[in-house]
Amino acid sequence: MILAVLYCLLWSFQTSAGHFPRACVSSKNLMEKECCPPWSGDGSPCGQLSGRGSCQNILLSNAPLGPQFPFTGVDDRESWPSIFYNRTCQCSGNFTGFD
């Protein structure tokens, strides 16, 4: 019985799929803090020439942090994704994802 429970528990864990597109995790992108890869359809950042999206500055809320953030300045989730990027793709219409 214990082996069956252990097997089900371990089977339920899955590997992480990642949060950033592969095109945005180069040293250059991380140093520039910009995730606006060119769309393969027209070569423009975020597919801007095709109306798919545009590269824009990230706007963060000025609301005070609540008790759900007890690790201010330590936890990267507090100011997500500005810890890594200042500019990202903003999709237009029904488009989603970096490509």
Alpha-carbon gap, residue 37 to 87, rounded angstroms: 11
Share of the chain above pLDDT 90, in %: 32
Q: Identify the band that residue 53 occupies on the pLDDT scale cut at 50, 70 and 90.
A: very high
Please say whether the beta carbons of 79 and 58 come within 8 A. Answer: no
- Structural domains of the chain, count: 1
Range of the domain at 38: 34-60+77-98
Alpha-carbon gap, residue 24 to 92, rounded angstroms: 20
Q: Please indicate, yes or no, if residue 45 is contained in any of the structural domains.
A: yes
Stretch 3-7: mean pLDDT: 62
Q: Identify the band that residue 8 occupies on the pLDDT scale cut at 50, 70 and 90.
A: low
CA atoms within 13 Å, Cβ hemisphere of 82: 9
- Out of 17-21, 22-26, 69-73, the most confident range is 22-26
Q: Please indicate, yes or no, if residue 1 is contained in any of the structural domains.
A: no
Q: Please indicate, yes or no, if residue 53 is contained in any of the structural domains.
A: yes
Q: Please indicate, yes or no, if residue 82 is contained in any of the structural domains.
A: yes
Stretch 49-61: mean pLDDT: 90
Q: Please indicate, yes or no, if residue 38 is contained in any of the structural domains.
A: yes
Whether pTM exceeds 0.75:
no
Q: What is the pLDDT of residue 86?
A: 92
